[in-house]
Structure 1
């Protein structure tokens, strides 16, 4: 069987294609059930008497089909259900000719179950009573659990959505509300609803929404419940319109939604300007709810409370970063994924990789302000590819819908984002974004594959993008670049990098197109970067003056490690010590990451890596210390069972971080810069992990005060995790139960996450 035949087996037939849905759904939160009607308008592409679509767990009845060539309704002569593939096939007594249009009507019903996919229910407590709401999660293939549909990303359509619910609840969907009224038996316009839903009375209401743009089924969304909201508006310059923004939540947590709203107001106009493509919907809502992760439904983002909420009175910096990057990621999808969508799920990285790059790096970098989260793109960037050493190529060929859930991984997010970031740095960010804009405009409301993106970026830059990117997209892992020196230049060799060293010959066949970005110094000692040099062969010689400072991968944009001879690394350490060092912050972060990873892989002596870190003692940048902290944690974990080595590493860590604790202290001030706040947290936390007696005792004292009085004011939000960890590690059953109680009862996501993590640590 050919690959195409295999693919067709798992895809819906293309004899008909939907172009519009009239969808009405009634939600009964008292009975935990929903039902509805859908009229699906179809284009007939090939003569057929069979209609095949997706349905999963729904009761279907009252099925009819009507052709535009006659007013006669046809009912199916046969209906078969394929439980395995989640499909239903209707066979009709008439054959419908190519070029005709059909209206397929179906009544359906289902249960609102506990869960996190399809259309499901969730709960919260108010005044000691459990309250319920309903919401959707349709990615990747779960719209079929809410209504019968063509549930594939390429089968786009417009949607008219009507939600019927109890009158005291709130209805949300993708587009804006155009009418909302209480049901009335006397209303002529409600007669068809009464026929479809006989139990309706004046305790119910009907909410109608504007027609959506053409869109895939997986980004359709709706929700019903006792929601409240915070709101603002933002003016968008490209579309020249003012858009209302709201963040919805239940009453108990609505006070924690302001930060997500502020991020939305900052980022939405930024993206419209970047892409030069108007935001097409009349509003953008966000719902903080009980969901796994977050979902970029067009016009109605839904995300887990931990990703959307921030306590205005006590929020640590990690929580601010999580909300800012998470919301920015989902908003990026409004264009990249929603306006233009991957053709099938094996191109998921086009959605997720780009949203990760835009939302977690570029957008945050451009939206810094005194009242917003300061977040270095480099911090996220260097973290992105920690887990992709052995990642497969992208895209992975995907045929079976059941496999889709397994591709939401480091491959689609981290590796894809890292590759795109490297490309952006190589061609220039402005030209990269121009290429993305061309890509979006050329494929408006369509579906795409990898080469469509490369075509747009190539048109904006003049580069042969496929040639540059194919090895990174289609091959496994990434390289290590080994540098040897002569008096007149350097010889550079590339090999596939593994956490255990260089790959064996049989796994070391790939040749990447590597942007070397060689940093040298001019006659005045100023840094000069050659951004045009590519390493495309196994080895290559480059002339340069090795008596002066040089460094590969300037700016740490390339996805590769650089291995220097020990003498060069010593010279690099000496350059770092200079007050006017030619190395940027990004260079220093990359050097730390590379040296620690290479020593972990036994390609470099650990002492050489530690000497480099030792040269950074006078650094004041938080990001440098954060990178050092994470790298030392990785190394320490290797020697956890070698007590004498682990203790020496702890001693080294204490010598690095204890002076920072003494300088900055334990108390946080609103006048502190964000970098100082984060540096203080990192230093204290790392000293606690390294068993510094003074730090451990201070954190225990603060937690003891909380246990005796119930007053947590002596535990700043940014020290919650470190304090809970010390309490659990050095305390007894009482301390553990106190942290457990925080996890179960704390209203703030940051405290819950910190407590959960620290209870799970092995000590």
Structure 2
């Protein structure tokens, strides 16, 4: 491979003078660094030693968008990092992974002094593969306080593995196009250039990209110069970018493509980048229209100006995460950023708004101020998840999207955090050191529990106090790294300044929620007034139970009401207390956790449960929509934990024939889905279908009426969601009118492929229903449409898994290992979709067992979300035979390993054991209750 010779230009143009450098050194030297003991072989440790700290990088990269003579796509590059020696050392350790370093005088790197200081010669260099280091042993020692320069040249593969600097492909007008793009998060910057790849090792990045003429280069900073020249005989453009702000390596972003953009410049320059056709068709307009308002919202919310000169957002054909908050150049999967009103549903539009808000929230919380280490991922991701609802609500106030956090985060994570194999939000720093341990931190607990707990914190502090603490936190720690306690300290200062009354300090309260896993169920006895708490577990007899530093007691903020609309708040500070106000008389009922602001479940004495159910039957609107959803969800999960009878949970659904609101219906359907999963092969399934059909038919008829026989859509955002529920469950439970309707719509589309008569909101449901009741012709048509789709591809991809034909499902499974058929980023989703189909579950499980070694070791580290794959495949497991298969799968693959799915596998085993017990204990009662309902 030919080397590139831009080293003189790169080193010369961005070496700062000592005076200007000294201004910044003050910031760099106070960073929070890991403290490491001296070790005979420090390169065997997964954490960098505390001897060196980077100041800035000069990086030149040249990604090749055409294959070389061997058919490989590569990139070449060089990097100079200026670093300071903090403690005397004769060893330089810097991250480097999967790069072919070019020899410099017989060594893998060249060391020089930044000024006139002497520099020791290099004794030996090597790559330590296990810990992903480039190691330099020196003949002398680096001096504390001195600056040095480490220069490397390298070649890397521009692979399609979705990690580091990688290759994405798409077809446009029959021509294959290549995009060079990046995913450095969390530990892939080292795959692109040698670097100090830890979040506390913040530095300034000076980036130069060499690229084919006619293509566009993007990075975190604004492009400041484009020069057409000849390099190694090839006509290229050299683009240099303004230096980044001081930032972590995982936030670096690089793109070379032939994309174009739409632009807005109301204060901050905003650009939405995508394929030319998508931009020409206006698919970037919605993102452009809401980005400005969302940025302004966060500027006001944090009371800190947006810290960069521009805000680029780009839609990529292949991307591992849904999006990534790279500073100044946010990357998205196409379906998450682009919006086409002719094919995109209101759910697509909401997803675009909330994901943009999530990523832009990180520009301050995560990028400007960064957590010291990955053991506190939850604070970064949980915070962005929480405030994404606030940002989206500001952009689209008519949606009332803030309430949907209950379904999408609170209830979602309750299901995981009620397992004995859950984990605390924060881990010990020393327990999270390997790349696979780091990626495991990005799970439902971190995102959704984090969001739920921070929402609770904001509620009991009040929003003004919460944002006041945020402002001083972001202002004090700008450009630095922090630990979670720093935020608690600033919130406490805001509490003290405003005179807010708390029973204990913010830290003491929050430690209970952050440092121990799980959550409480608060039980009220309305006869005695006793209120108590205990750790809520779906399987309280699980052998996986762990000790807690707080003995599974929480400091619980409780807001509540009586049926006479008396509302109040108090704190439950111990395991049991008596509140006489909780006592009721006659038909009075008590309801706790109003609007579900607290992260806990609620149980009542049977008398109060019955009075709540009576209220739902008589006039359900007396109870708020959110709390109607809560009553259903709490009851079903309390029944799963054997705290209340399962028939009591089922009774919460009897009023649904009168319910028209989305949240209670969605809560009920989510919980009934567990029954469907557990009883797929039993008589209970038929009885459940009959009961659900009876309950959902009035909802189906209601939407048929208000939409004038399906010719219109409801005006309300969540009403549109509930219309989808009505059709989906009416069709899946066998309402003939529904199945005939969806089949006829799909047939009309098949007859005129260029004219789709189905409203975008309904397409996923209609496609699934028509493919399920159809055959090979319907499936093949759906596949053809999927291959030609962009924004709508997700809808078709999930619907193709609805087929009942085993041959079709086997074919579809096979496509997941062929990136020309199913993109690597989508392989996990397709397998899980098929596993969710009763006709495909066993096929998917057999496929994963047979292909695990290949998927895990050969197909690409960035291709499969192994944790989602395991949890999705096993969610129906409820028999001894399935448990045996799961344990054998664990045993058979113990040497290969499970990587980021390790915890998910343990949770799957625990869930399966709990499911087996639950089915055995409840099947008879459920059968009897459903039979009685059909009488």
Shared fold per TM-score greater than 0.5:
yes
CA contact (8 A) 1:394 1:474 kept: yes
Q: 2:273 aligns with which of 216, 228, 248?
A: 248
Give the superposition deviation at 1:343.
1.0
> How far apart are 1:430 and its partner, in Å?
2.3
In the alignment, which residue of structure 2 is the partner of 1:260?
A: 287
Give the aligned partner of residue 126 of structure 2.
Answer: 80
Corresponding position of 1:416: 450
- The match for 1:39 is 80
- The answer to whether the Cα contact below 8 Å between 2:36 and 2:50 also exists between their aligned partners in 1 is no
User: Does residue 28 in structure 1 map to residue 64 in structure 2?
Assistant: yes
Taking the aligned partners of 2:356 and 2:110, their CA distance within structure 1 comes to: 42
Is residue 208 of structure 1 aligned with residue 240 of structure 2? Answer: yes
Q: CA deviation at 1:380?
A: 3.1
Deviates more, 1:434-443 or 1:221-230: 434-443
1:285 to 301, 304, 312: 312
1:318 is the counterpart of 2:394? no
Are the equivalent residues in 1 in contact too, given 2:537–2:641 (CA < 8 A)? yes
Deviation of 1:655 after TM superposition, in Å, equals 4.4
Task: Spell out, residue by residue over 1:339-372, the C-alpha distance to the aligned partner (whole angstroms, 9 max, x if none).
Answer: 111111111112111111111x222233324599
What per-residue deviation string (whole Å, max 9, x for no partner) do you get for residues 288-334 of structure 1?
A: 11101211111011111122222231211221222222221111111
CA distance in 2, matches of 1:714, 1:414: 37
Shift of 1:758: 3.1
Post-superposition Cα deviations, 1:171-220, rounded to whole Å, max 9, x if no partner, equal: 00001111112126xxxxxxxxxxxxx5055x211111111111000001
Summarize deviations over 1:67-119 as a string: whole Å, max 9, x none.
24427777633212101111111234443321111122222221211210011
1:743–1:643 CA distance, 2 compared to 1 (3 A): farther
Matches for 1:318-397 after TM superposition, within 5 Å: 318-359=347-388, 361-369=389-397, 376-385=404-413, 386-390=415-419, 391-396=422-427, 397=431
Counterpart in the other structure of 2:637? 597
The question of whether the paired residues in 1 share the 8 Å contact of 2:399 and 2:717 is answered with no
Distance, in Å, in 2 between the alignment partners of 1:519 and 1:648 is 36
| Counterpart for residue 150 of structure 1 | 196
1:416-455 paired onto structure 2 within 5 Å: 416-455=450-489
Which structure has more strand as a fraction of its residues?
Answer: 1
Instruction: From the superposition, tell whether residues 374 and 151 of structure 1 become closer, same or farther in structure 2 (CA, over 3 Å).
Output: closer
TM superposition shift of 1:661: 3.5
Deviation at 1:381, TM superposition (A): 4.3
- Structure with the largest fraction of helix: 2
> Does 303-312 or 373-382 show the bigger shift?
373-382
Give yes or no for contact 1:484–1:492 (8 Å, CA) kept in 2: yes
Residue 654 (str. 1) matches residue 696 (str. 2):
yes
User: Aligned pair 1:546/2:578, yes or no?
Assistant: no
Q: 1:169 to 1:119 in 2, by over 3 A?
A: same
1:496 paired residue number: 535
Q: CA–CA distance in 1 between the matches of 2:141 and 2:540? A: 64
Q: Over aligned residue pairs, what C-alpha RMSD do you find?
A: 2.7
1:705, 1:711 within 8 Å by CA — same for their partners in 2? no
1:439 alignment partner, SS class: helix
Deviation at 1:230, TM superposition (A): 1.6
Aligned with residue 681 of structure 2, among 641, 652, 658: 641
Take 1:504 and 1:660, find their aligned partners in 2: how far apart are those partners? 48
Q: How far apart are residue 589 of structure 1 and its match?
A: 2.0
Q: What secondary structure is seen at the aligned counterpart in 2 of 1:113?
A: coil
Residue among 531, 534, 556 paired with 1:514: 556
- Separation (CA, whole Å) in 1 of partners of 2:178 and 2:553: 56
Asked if the contact 1:27/1:35 (under 8 Å) is kept, the reply is yes
Shift of 1:553: 0.9
Pair 362,504 (structure 1): closer, same or farther in 2 beyond 3 Å:
farther
Write the distance in 1 (CA, Å) between the matches of 2:448 and 2:89. Answer: 44
Partner residue, 2:603: 563
SS state at 2:276 partner: coil
> Is the deviation greater in 203-212 or in 306-315?
306-315
Which whole-Å CA distance do the structure 2 matches of 1:510 and 1:210 have between them?
51
**Which among 1, 12, 17 is matched to residue 48 of structure 2?**
12
Supply the distance in 1 between the matched residues of 2:403 and 2:263 (Cα, whole angstroms): 25
* Cα distance in 2 between the residues matched to 1:439 and 1:608: 47
List aligned pairs for 1:109-258, cutoff 5 A.
Answer: 109-183=155-229, 198-199=231-232, 201=234, 203-234=235-266, 242-254=267-279, 255=281, 256-258=283-285
**Whole-angstrom CA distance in 2 between matches of 1:199 and 1:370:** 57
Deviation, 1:576, is 4.1
State the distance in 1 between where 2:674 and 2:408 align: 17
Deviations 1:415-470 (A, max 9, x none): 22221111111211221222222222222111122211211222212441121121
Counterpart in the other structure of 1:479: 520
Q: Which position in structure 1 is the counterpart of 2:94?
A: 53
User: In the TM superposition, what is the alpha-carbon distance from 1:504 to its structure 2 partner?
Assistant: 8.8
Distance, in Å, in 2 between the alignment partners of 1:567 and 1:37 is 73
Contact 1:229 1:249 in 2 (8 A): yes
Q: Is the 8 A contact 2:771 2:800 kept in 1?
A: no
1:193 corresponds in structure 2 to none
Distance in structure 2 (CA, Å) of the matches to 1:205 and 1:505: 59
Contact residue 43 and residue 100 of structure 1 kept, 8 A: yes
TM-score (norm 1): 0.90
**1:301: which partner in 2?**
330
Structure 1 Cα separation of the partners of residues 473 and 155 of structure 2: 40
Q: 1:200 to 1:433 in 2, by over 3 A?
A: farther
Task: Specify the alignment match of 1:189 in structure 2.
Answer: none
Q: 1:735 & 1:471 partners in 2: Cα distance? A: 54
CA distance in 1, matches of 2:575, 2:367: 40
> Does the CA-based 8 Å contact 2:657-2:695 persist in structure 1?
no
- Tell whether the 8 Å contact from 1:219 to 1:297 is kept in structure 2 after alignment: yes
User: Compared with structure 1, are the counterparts of its residues 56 and 220 closer, same or farther at alpha carbon in structure 2 (3 Å cutoff)?
Assistant: same
- Report if the CA contact (8 A) 1:34-1:109 is conserved: yes
Question: CA offsets, 1:11-60, max 9 Å, x none?
Answer: 11222211111111122212422222222111111223322111112222
Q: What residue is the counterpart of 2:135 in the other structure?
A: 89
Q: TM-score, normalised by structure 2?
A: 0.74
User: In structure 2, do the counterparts of structure 1 residues 757 and 369 end up closer, same or farther at CA, with 3 Å as the change threshold?
Assistant: farther
Query: For the structure 1 residues 389 and 373, does the alpha-carbon distance in structure 2 shift closer, same or farther, using more than 3 Å as the test?
Result: closer
- Measure how far apart 1:375 and its partner are: 7.0
- For the residue of structure 2 that corresponds to 1:517, the secondary structure is strand
Runs of 5+ unmatched residues, structure 2: 1-33, 68-72, 497-501, 804-833, 840-935
Q: 1:16 to 1:364 in 2, by over 3 A?
A: same
C-alpha change, 1:101 and 1:600, in structure 2 (3 Å) is same
Matched residues in 2 for 1:557 and 1:546: separation?
23
- Take 2:480 and 2:85, find their aligned partners in 1: how far apart are those partners? 19
Residue 247 of structure 1 and its aligned partner are, at CA, apart by: 1.4
Distance 2:648 2:334 in 1: 44
Q: Residue 755 in 1 paired to residue 794 in 2?
A: no
Secondary structure of the corresponding residue to residue 498 of structure 1: coil
Contact 1:321 1:375 (8 Å CA) reproduced: no
Cα separation, partners in 2 of 1:98 and 1:484, compared to 1, 3 Å: same
